[in-house]
Amino acid sequence: MVWRQLGCVCCVAIAVWIRPLQAEDAVPVEVQNIPLDHLTLQQAEQLFAGYSRELLAAKRSVQAAEADTIIAGQRPNPVFSYSFSSYNLNRGQGNPNQSGANGFWDKTYNNTVQVSQLFERGNKRELRASVAENAARASEFDLKDTYRQQGLAMGTAYYDLKLAQETVQIQQANVGLYEKTLQAAELRLKAGDVASADVARIRVDALRAKNDLRQAEAVLQKAQASLAYLLGKDQDAAKLYVADPWPAPGTQSAAREADDWLAQRSDVQAAEVRMTQAQQARKLAESLKTRDVTWALAYQHFPGQEPGSAPDTVGATVSIPLFTNYQYEGEAARAEVDYQSATEAKAQVSAAALAEMRRAKADLDAAIDKNRRFDQGILTEAQTAADAADFAYQHGAMSVMDLLDATRILRALQLEAAGVKADYAKSLLAWQAATRQTFNIP
């Protein structure tokens, strides 16, 4: 009955411990019902926060590190031992008591019960707890950095899908335009107003436009698959359609001073905490040279040793290790190396973060300039030239080769303009991810 009650208590304790984890990992209903066929970037971030496999793995690492802090802060458990000795193997003689008593408790068996307790010295438990707590803090910063990196990958995949959607639309318009041009050329061929070679050239370009459209559709499907994986919606990849417009390009430079953001980056903070953790681990290694003490209390029941003597005795022992062969030099040396490595890793992470910001700044500034040139009339002028070429061809004032050249230039510029807008959107995300101080983990 006692064991059954104890089992029930354990089950309740486990349920209470697991329930917060389940509540933390549960995805809100409003996120589950987000429409995938008209997806905004904000909704994509909500899906990413709720279903990303990389974020889930990072959260599990945080939970494991928190469990390690509980383990590290515990005192050693006492040890109970029982020994039974002095059993006479001569069955005939047995273990009779000299006093004449022959009960089981009176026989000359040596029964010993002992409880021992290890007492740690040198602040080992506090140092272990400090090392574990710093490891848990570092894992929390790792979670934020995972969100930063994977969030950038998700935003990049979002705009890759938007670029693929616009490319398909441009290629579809291109195919439709070539079909109309081909129909008009065939009518003119029947009227004897154009050469058959010109019609053949238009037909070839129309077929090439269909091939370009098919390739654009394949790129669209791959972009849907990439974004679906990051959102945890692999089975619904074909439904994905992004709806946000391209971000408006800014006019100012992206330059920022390093000390405004570098110390607040999650990966730099994680490296800083790991350096502190290594420093505490170095102190823990040094504390191993402080001798621990083990105390023990024993009760012994050994009747029949001397007539009239008491069979019950108590005693105490103390154990202290002797460092005659080894004094933990290896642990101290390893902890020192780990501390130096953590210090160098922090410098390396800071340098990498600064280089990432500078690359993102260069890409963003270039994207701003390219967008400015397109906004100043490149597409408008190209569209005007293509319309004039089509009008001239319809009235016999331009050759088919000039018409096709004007059309190719327009489509190429339209595709380039979409690519420039995508480059700006992705470089803006990269710069924000490189310089953003913190990410709020849902």
225-258 pLDDT per residue, tens: 999 999 999 899 999 999 999 998 764 444 454 4
Domains of the chain: 2-75+120-289+327-435 (1.20.1600.10)
Instruction: Report, as an integer, the average pLDDT of 73-81.
Output: 94
Q: At 271, which amino acid appears?
A: A
Give the least confident one: 70-79, 142-151, 246-255, 415-424: 246-255
β-pair partners for 80:
115
β-pair partners for 79:
116
3-class secondary-structure state, position 371: helix
pLDDT tens profile 149-189: 999 999 999 999 999 999 999 999 888 888 887 887 788 78
Higher-confidence residue of 70 and 188: namely 70
* 8 Å CB contact between 109 and 87: yes
CA angle at 284 for the pair 340 and 71, rounded to the nearest 5°: 115
CA 43 – CA 29 distance, rounded (Å): 13
- H or E element, residue 111: strand 110-119
Is residue 25's pLDDT more than 60? no
3-class secondary-structure state, position 48: helix
Is residue 222's pLDDT more than 90? yes
CA 315 – CA 114 distance, rounded (Å): 9
CA 182 – CA 202 distance, rounded (Å): 6
Both tokens of residue 105?
């408790």
Maximum average pLDDT range among 13-17, 159-163, 299-303, 397-401: 159-163
**Which residue's structure tokens are 């003597």?**
309
CA 358 – CA 427 distance, rounded (Å): 12
CA 363 – CA 370 distance, rounded (Å): 11
pTM score: 0.80
Q: What confidence tier does 22 reach under pLDDT thresholds 50, 70, 90?
A: very low
pLDDT tens profile 121-134: 999 999 999 999 99
* 8 Å CB contact between 267 and 349: yes
Both tokens of residue 337?
């190396």
Q: What confidence tier does 393 reach under pLDDT thresholds 50, 70, 90?
A: low
Residue 7, pLDDT score = 44
Give the rounded percent of residues in the chain with a pLDDT score beyond 70: 79
Higher-confidence residue of 205 and 317: namely 317
Residue 142, pLDDT score = 95
